[in-house]
Amino acid sequence: MNENKNSSALALEISDVSGQKVFSVPNAPADGTVGELVHEVLGHMNLPRNDASGAPLTYQARLEREGRHLMASERIGDALELGDRLTLQPNIDAGLRR
């Protein structure tokens, strides 16, 4: 299925939802998780860590090639291929205001 399972690192491109901030990852470790990758690149991309009310934001990675959101626990080498593009999207939790 994925020809990169034996690779030790993959080159990826990651953008924010607007597409205005793009970050190239030349060597994402194949044995790392998507969650670790997202956490690492958030700082490099200067994406907000909190929403307008100060609540912490969490981000999901959308794999453009398959049109699906990746689970944070998925291994990079299992889910991704060389040159894949991910889009980071903040999770928006709707809730009651008190």
**Mind listing the pLDDT tens digit for each residue in 27-65?**
999 999 999 999 999 989 999 988 888 888 999 999 999
Q: Is the pLDDT of residue 3 over 50?
A: no
Average model confidence (pLDDT) across the chain: 89
Assess whether pLDDT exceeds 50 at residue 2.
no
Dist. CA 89–CA 70, nearest whole Å? 11
| Position 7 pLDDT exceeds 80 | no
Is residue 74 pLDDT above 90, yes or no?
yes
Please provide the CATH number assigned to the domain covering 9-90.
Answer: 3.10.20.90
Kindly state the average pLDDT of the residues 72-80. Answer: 97
